[in-house]
Chain A
Amino acid sequence: MTTTQEQPVRSVPTVSFTDAEAGAKVFPDSGASARRYNYFTPAKRKQTHYEDVTVEVQPDPRHYLAQGWLYGFANGEAGYPLTWTTLKAWGVDKPEPQRGPGSGGLPKDFEWPAHGWHEFRDPNEEWEFTLYRYNANVVRQLNQNIENAREAKAFEQWSPNWVRFVERHIGAWMHIDHILGLYVFAACNRSAPTNMHNTAIAVNSMHKIRSAQDLALYNLTLSEEIEDFDGRAHLDAWNNDGEWQGVREVVEALTAIDDDWGESMFATNVVFEPLLGELFRSHMVQQFAAANGDFVTPTIVGATEYDYSQRDLRWTQACFGPLTADKEFAAHNVTIMQGWLSRWVPRCLEAARTMEPLWSLPDMKPRTFEHALDRARNRFAGIVTELGLELSQEPDT
């Protein structure tokens, strides 16, 4: 005969009705108008979800940071010094509020924002929800495209010459995105004066790191799908091909910029990307691939192109555009940015010219290098003039 075992008494917390819901009672600060973050001024009439999760998370001693930064570097710097770029926004030259015994915390006659850096908003309004959704969509799209291509045996359509081109030169580009992602963008996400800037920079970094891995894994797929595809040829191209040494030198120089996050971002997104990034992606790969029987590679490279042209360029323009019209430092900023253009444009154009032989490599050549370079330069010119800057009249600048 079976006996019934008694269940031990379960220990669970009791549920109680507390009625701690919005609207349950009326008291000071119970109304709908009290249910918003009230410590910053939104950019527009209504504050956005993006602003709510981003603005003022990184403190500022010119705002509410009463006790100041708590940790300093050995050289005395602390927090996010405004001097970590030579660019300036209105208000930055005002001295930091001095606090001490009996001073109180809030700066006298305080208004939000205390200086112009806090006016920046990422037009893409990126926060965790949007960046995971966007990048997850990209990787799903790429996976599907590659899978479709495999099913359709699309890679068999490629000419041997195109196979060589992809294994060496599409592969070589992965290194550029990797270096930019980790050693330019991620490196700068510690530097800028607001959370809005640093998060936009971190998101830009994520795009590049993902893009580098997209190309690496695409290379791996091709090694598995195409019999004589050399999955390591990209290393030889990157390390030894003359066509890549110019752009490699420039990208490494971008990592070596001396302690100015503004120059790093400007030189990369305003100069390097249109003159070299888009030159290769939009005006070479996207134009040549289909003509050479490849409908897959453009979707991989196109995702990177979209990252830049529709998202990363947008935040860059929103960051640097207002600085050239700044109510206090417009002339200062224009001088600096013109100097950056003088430094980086000739370098990028020289690197572009070293890439010219790539345009002769595939069997089908729908576009000449000069045509591609013209398009890239026009695009670059448009970006520069929209920012309120001038192009040099000298040839090749």
Chain B
Amino acid sequence: MSRQSLAKAHQKIQELSWEPQYHEPYMKYGTDYTFRKAAKKDPLKQVLRSYFPMQEEKDHRVYGASDGAIRGNMFRQVQERWLEWQKLFLSIIPLPEVSAARSMPMLFHVVPNPELHNGQAIQMIDEVRHSTIQQNLKRLYMNNYIDPAGFNNSLRNFHSDYCGTIGRQFAEGFITGDAITAASIYLTIVAETAFTNTLFVAMPAEAAANGDYLLPTVFHSVQSDESRHISNGYATLLMALSDEDNRQLLERDLRYAWWNNHRVVDAAIGTFIEYGTKDRRKDRESYAEMWRRWIYDDYYRSYLVPLEKYGLVIPHDLIEESWRQIWEEGYVHEVAQFFATGWLANYWRIDGMTDTDFEWFEYKYPGWYDKYGAWWENYNRLAVPNGHNPIVFEDVDYVYPARCWTCMVPCLVRKDMVTAEVDGVHKTYCHEVCRWTDVEAFRGTYQGRETPNMGRLVGHREWETLYHGWNWADLVSDMGMVRDDGKTMTAQPHLDLNPKKMWTLDHLRRCPPCGSPNVLFNEMDDAGRAAFIDDYRRQGPAGRPAPPTA
């Protein structure tokens, strides 16, 4: 680059700022936020003339390392238990990334700060990078890993499967509804500033411990772009805080975005890190410990709390509640157990837990074995087909849960389940905050204030509804989760690739039909529903049936 200093170059680029003289741009996206007061500087002075070579150099290193991994026979030492979970993770993550690119113009329309648009435009380019580099990583796995099933039908699986749908809100939440709620608060303030630490830093560390150094190569490179995005988010937030009228909306959106990210990201990443690993050294961090470090200390205490002095109402109660869910209620363990219960509806192989794993879990989470041990022992016992049905149909002291309408994760901490009747439909929610999100936050008015730009939660949010009454063999075929012999399932509840030990559609055909908890819940009368809810809340932990009432 010429000898111009970066500061001079950035100052020069500000001369590009555009004040329309003849036509105002068409404002496709709206917000209920107002930006009457603040004008903030683009805090990161990013000039494209240095950006492109810098990113190209990062790519050289990523693809060089990828070549090295293949030539160094990485796959001879990668843990299958780990890599199978990447079939889920990598099926989801390219869409959130590219959705973040799509969301940037929403901010151009509503944030009246041309300097910030420069940073947002670079974020758009970064996010296209992330999406395609992750889709490429998945391709490498598919080509070089022992079992390509689940990678080869990846995006079809992601679009049709309930786990994919849960993950998809982490993409759609960026691009729809109120532009600031979606593209600023949900995406940059919460998802990128807080939860990408666990996604792109903690998880890759786990990958390396399981013999996979391709994932850290890609994701640490991705994370190196995030500092720009965090900076974009911070600058936009400070602008929003300057208008006192925005504080009520900020409080709403921070509560919604925080809770939704916790429900979705903690569920998935916590499972990958704790149940996808074979590294059971006592001194490696549990997900709870990582969360405490990255989310609680780093994000909440160092980033969020100092913003209180600018008038931001911080959801302290929800931060503490999220921690309580993870530590006291075993949220991640409940989720992992549910994933494994429903192995047959998914597209990867889920390895059982062994005594070594039990010992680690008990060390990190005292009381774990009493809650979950027996169930995982049953999971192992029922792993290989031997005349029995998949575990979900067997008597293992597990009640199949209802689903949360809002976050679509099942209502796993049973005592927290709440319900509401909305537009004539009875819905179940995993927690009061999810109910509040649907019934109060995503509406056209909020606490008496008109919010005409706020989005809506739509869609067929309970997956089981679509397959209510279906034979499981037909269900799995409809989703396309069958291997190339036309009968062996993509998913398996173990890692043994001996065809004789693999579940097939024939095994599923004899199972009871799929039942939708929500369809059944809506078919009940009021008394039935009340009894159901009472029983439900007395269930658990680990999905245990409610004790008989006296």
| Chain A residues whose C-beta falls within 8 Å of the C-beta of B147 in the assembled complex | 27, 29-30
In the docked arrangement, what's the CA distance between A287 and B474, Å? 68
The answer to whether B136 and A52 touch across the interface, beta carbons within 8 angstroms, is: yes
| Chain A residues whose C-beta falls within 8 Å of the C-beta of B459 in the assembled complex | 67-70, 78
Q: What is the size, in residues, of chain B's interface with A at 8 Å between Cβ atoms?
A: 130
The answer to whether B139 and A53 touch across the interface, beta carbons within 8 angstroms, is: yes
| Minimum CB–CB distance for B100 against chain A, Å | 11
Residue in contact with B128 in the complex, picked from A17, A49, A59, A131, CB distance below 8 Å: A131
| Chain B residues whose C-beta falls within 8 Å of the C-beta of A255 in the assembled complex | 20, 23, 25-26
| Minimum CB–CB distance for A107 against chain B, Å | 10
Q: Which chain B residue has the least Cβ–Cβ distance from A64?
A: B159
In the docked arrangement, what's the CA distance between A198 and B49, Å? 24
The answer to whether B156 and A24 touch across the interface, beta carbons within 8 angstroms, is: no
The answer to whether B444 and A213 touch across the interface, beta carbons within 8 angstroms, is: no
Interface residue B175 (Cβ < 8 Å from any Cβ of A) = yes
Residue in contact with A30 in the complex, picked from B13, B146, B211, CB distance below 8 Å: B146
Residues of B455-472 whose CB lies within 8 A of A: 455-461, 463, 465-470
In the docked arrangement, what's the CA distance between A58 and B312, Å? 35
Interface residue B516 (Cβ < 8 Å from any Cβ of A) = yes
The answer to whether A20 and B153 touch across the interface, beta carbons within 8 angstroms, is: no
Given A22-B143, A105-B160, A132-B56 in contact, is the A257-B169 Cβ separation under 8 Å?
no
In the docked arrangement, what's the CA distance between A138 and B13, Å? 18
The answer to whether A217 and B55 touch across the interface, beta carbons within 8 angstroms, is: no
Interface residue A164 (Cβ < 8 Å from any Cβ of B) = no
The answer to whether B52 and A20 touch across the interface, beta carbons within 8 angstroms, is: no
Residue in contact with A104 in the complex, picked from B104, B121, B135, B466, CB distance below 8 Å: B466
| Minimum CB–CB distance for B285 against chain A, Å | 12
| Minimum CB–CB distance for A396 against chain B, Å | 21
| Minimum CB–CB distance for B222 against chain A, Å | 10
| Chain A residues whose C-beta falls within 8 Å of the C-beta of B490 in the assembled complex | 29
Interface residue B519 (Cβ < 8 Å from any Cβ of A) = yes
Chain B 283-313 interface 0/1 with A at a Cβ cutoff of 8 Å (1 = within): 1100000000000000000000000000000
Given A39-B153, A68-B458, A252-B22 in contact, is the A18-B211 Cβ separation under 8 Å?
yes
| Chain B residues whose C-beta falls within 8 Å of the C-beta of A65 in the assembled complex | 159-160
Residue in contact with A69 in the complex, picked from B128, B153, B156, B172, CB distance below 8 Å: B172
Given A143-B1, A202-B124 in contact, is the A190-B102 Cβ separation under 8 Å?
yes
The answer to whether A195 and B2 touch across the interface, beta carbons within 8 angstroms, is: no
Residue in contact with B452 in the complex, picked from A70, A74, A220, CB distance below 8 Å: A74
The answer to whether A66 and B452 touch across the interface, beta carbons within 8 angstroms, is: no
The answer to whether B103 and A190 touch across the interface, beta carbons within 8 angstroms, is: yes
Interface residue A6 (Cβ < 8 Å from any Cβ of B) = no
Interface residue A106 (Cβ < 8 Å from any Cβ of B) = yes
The answer to whether B148 and A34 touch across the interface, beta carbons within 8 angstroms, is: yes
In the docked arrangement, what's the CA distance between A238 and B499, Å? 71
In the docked arrangement, what's the CA distance between A349 and B454, Å? 42
Q: Which chain A residue has the least Cβ–Cβ distance from B475?
A: A104
Interface residue A179 (Cβ < 8 Å from any Cβ of B) = yes
Interface residue A292 (Cβ < 8 Å from any Cβ of B) = no
Q: What is the size, in residues, of chain A's interface with B at 8 Å between Cβ atoms?
A: 117
The answer to whether B103 and A136 touch across the interface, beta carbons within 8 angstroms, is: no
The answer to whether B160 and A106 touch across the interface, beta carbons within 8 angstroms, is: yes
Q: Determine, out of A180-188, A272-280, A362-370, the stretch whose residues face the partner at the interface.
A: A180-188
Interface residue B250 (Cβ < 8 Å from any Cβ of A) = no
In the docked arrangement, what's the CA distance between A239 and B17, Å? 12
Q: Determine, out of B76-84, B321-329, B390-398, the stretch whose residues face the partner at the interface.
A: B76-84
The answer to whether B152 and A132 touch across the interface, beta carbons within 8 angstroms, is: no
Interface residue A348 (Cβ < 8 Å from any Cβ of B) = no
| Minimum CB–CB distance for B404 against chain A, Å | 13
Residue in contact with B23 in the complex, picked from A199, A209, A253, CB distance below 8 Å: A253
| Minimum CB–CB distance for A348 against chain B, Å | 14
Interface residue A243 (Cβ < 8 Å from any Cβ of B) = no
Q: Which chain A residue has the least Cβ–Cβ distance from B130?
A: A128
| Chain B residues whose C-beta falls within 8 Å of the C-beta of A71 in the assembled complex | 169, 172-173, 175-177, 182, 455-458
Q: Which 7 A-B pairs have the closest CB atoms?
A: A64-B159, A28-B483, A136-B56, A39-B156, A255-B25, A29-B149, A71-B176
A78-B459, A104-B475 are known; give 20 further A-B pairs, CB within 8 A: A13-B208, A13-B279, A18-B79, A21-B73, A28-B485, A29-B149, A33-B484, A53-B135, A58-B98, A66-B460, A67-B162, A67-B460, A100-B460, A129-B63, A133-B56, A182-B108, A190-B175, A198-B98, A216-B16, A256-B23
List 21 A–B pairs whose Cβ atoms lie within 8 Å, in order of A's numbering: A13-B279, A18-B79, A29-B147, A29-B149, A30-B146, A36-B152, A57-B95, A65-B159, A69-B458, A101-B468, A102-B466, A104-B474, A106-B479, A129-B59, A131-B125, A132-B129, A182-B108, A190-B28, A212-B16, A216-B16, A221-B2
